[in-house]
Amino acid sequence: MLPVRSTVRAALLLSLGAMTLSACGGDKAAPAASTTATKISIQATSDARADAATYLAQLCPKPIGGELNFMVWEGYTDTLFTKPFETACGVKVNATYMGSSDDLVTKLRAGGSETIDLVSPSSDAVTAIIEAGLAQPLDLKRIPSYGDLMSSFRDLKVARKDSTVFGLPWAFGPNPMIYDTTKLKPAPTSWAELWDKKYKGKLSLQDDIATLYMVAQVLGMDDPADPSKLYNLSDEDLAKVKAKMLELKPNVRKYWVTAGDMTQLFQSGEIVAGEGWPLMTSQLRAAKFPAGEIIPSEGTTAWADHWVLTKGARNLDAAYAWLEYAAQPFTQKLMSDVTAYNVANPAAKAYMTADASALQKDIADYGSKVNFWQWGSKRDKYQEIWNEVKAGK
């Protein structure tokens, strides 16, 4: 965990949000009437946990009650910031982790949108969820802190349909190369190095079509002038990607599904490098493992995650309380402690150490070095090829 500053910054000017809930006993079977929320002001300190507690006491002066069912990426319902919400608001949070964007979309299409309340889709899946009618628009009057979130993040079109907003910005980051700094010297600079035969059986890659994006970038198929090209490659280009991926397969010890899969492979000495998330780097460093992280010269893909209400969400008082709480700078700081991700509320940096604050980026800072995931028109074809790669065909 990153340490919290012990003194208040003189320039700490945080616009802390809150909401006035319309009822204190949210019932899963009875949607609450829409209400306009008002902001709660608290005396900001430099202690994220203390401010979260003060804020939650005013957000939920009486228990809301009921449950919220989440399907999320790892780290997004960590007890560090979820438990205080459950205690203060009297809401039980039930979380299921997803292994991929396709996993989430498949689950929602199979009826999950009626049993799951909130999801945290990335920039590819959020579009598919909205287009499939599996989400409900956000009532921004109930999320007064929405405007405090990073404008470049709010301006992304992926979580909108025309002028209607479906997603609350939460976190974003790249898919970097992670490596053992004691075993890879000098440090790698390119994805292409992974094809070296000296890495036979010593790599781990994500069990997801996102790995095909990386291979396509190695082959020079990522066009900064047209980011969508990477997600809509021709059959001819996909055949080249498949052949290149099959060349890499002997070097792969295991395809990971969860962050824990990859960190365990590093810690057991089974792998020396791989493609992962900043979450893995953070977990490894917290365990005193010598993990390095780079964005290779070819660039990499990235993701921008939102909170989205499913069409079947019922306990809306609890759901909107969570969304307003999730938008707060102290909540996002605590989430970043767990994940090391870039957060959507710039004011969260005031809670961070100078070093941690310096690592936070604006989405615009990445420029052409990263390509944010999109849901392409040939998603099924990519999945077919990925399954064939894993089967060695």
pLDDT in tens, 129-163: 999 999 999 999 999 999 999 999 999 999 999 99
CA distance 259 to 102: 17
pLDDT, one tens digit per residue, over 72-116 is: 999 999 999 999 999 999 999 999 999 889 999 999 999 999 999
For each successive 10 residues of the chain (393 residues), what is the average pLDDT? 30 34 36 64 91 97 97 95 98 94 94 96 95 97 96 93 96 96 96 97 96 97 94 97 98 94 97 94 94 95 96 96 98 95 96 92 84 93 96 83
pLDDT of amino acid 38: 83
CATH, range 177-294+367-391:
3.40.190.10
pLDDT of amino acid 40: 83
pLDDT of amino acid 35: 63
48-173+304-361 has which fold? D-Maltodextrin-Binding Protein; domain 2 (3.40.190)
pLDDT of amino acid 209: 95
- Torsion sign across C-alpha atoms 231, 233, 239, 241: negative
Q: What are phi and psi of 203, to 5 degrees?
A: -120, 160
Domain boundaries, the chain: 48-173+304-361, 177-294+367-391
pLDDT of amino acid 274: 97
Residue given tokens 């969260």 in the structure block: 348
Q: Report residue 356 as tokens.
A: 């941690």
Contact 281, 359 (CB under 8 A): no
Long-range Cβ contacts of 384-390 (<8 Å, 24+ apart) = 385/209, 385/212, 385/238, 385/241, 385/242, 386/208, 386/209, 386/211, 386/212, 388/242, 389/212, 389/242, 389/245, 389/246, 389/249, 390/207, 390/255
CA distance 256 to 258: 6
Do 48-173+304-361 and 177-294+367-391 fold alike per CATH? yes
Q: Which residues contact 240 (CB under 8 A, 6 or more apart)?
A: 219
For 378: left if phi > 0, alpha if psi spans -120 to 50, otherwise beta; the answer is alpha
**In the chain, alpha helices (H):** 48-59, 79-89, 101-109, 125-131, 151-154, 210-218, 235-248, 259-267, 278-286, 316-326, 329-339, 354-359, 379-391
3 state SS of 160: strand
Contact 262, 253 (CB under 8 A): no
Are β-strands 160-161 and 370-372 bridged in parallel, bridged antiparallel, or unpaired?
Answer: unpaired
